[in-house]
Amino acid sequence: FANSKWGKMCLLNQQKVEKSEKYFYDHGMIATITGRLIPGIRHLISIPAGLAKMNYWKFLLYTTIGAGAWNCILAALGWYLHSAVPEDQLTEKIAEYGEYIKVFILIAVVIAIVYFVLKWYFKRKKQAKL
């Protein structure tokens, strides 16, 4: 897949895949647990675990720990918000801070896209000079 047209569109190549596989072989437990804590990655962490042929029961244990920690964080955040904000103002506060969070995420995504496009551009320009 990495060497296909679709792989290149996803900014993949054989070297990146091999590096990722090596990292997952060396740090599979940490990668699985922390992967479950990161939005966006949490849905995809099963793919490298499967590609690395991680033991099913170990994966189940690590993913349960990571997903459990994520749910505890969300529950604690909900409990804190409920105790810190009166119930009649809770919906307003969620809407207010939701806008800030949307803007922050949008800015972070734009910065990431600009970074990767510039990295790709300068790498391609450097290869063209060689």
Residue ranges covered by each domain of the chain:
1-84, 86-130
The CA–CA distances, whole Å, from 89 to 35, 84, 122, 126 equal: 34, 10, 50, 55
pLDDT score of 8: 76
pLDDT score of 45: 83
∠ at Cα 22 (21, 23), nearest 5°? 90
At 31, list the tokens.
Answer: 């990668």
pLDDT score of 129: 79
**32-47 residue pLDDT tens:** 898 888 887 888 888 8
pLDDT score of 63: 92
The CA–CA distances, whole Å, from 92 to 55, 82, 88, 115 equal: 46, 13, 8, 35
CA 53 to chain centre: 21
- Rounded CA-CA distance 5/11 in Å is 10
Residues of the chain with pLDDT under 70: 1
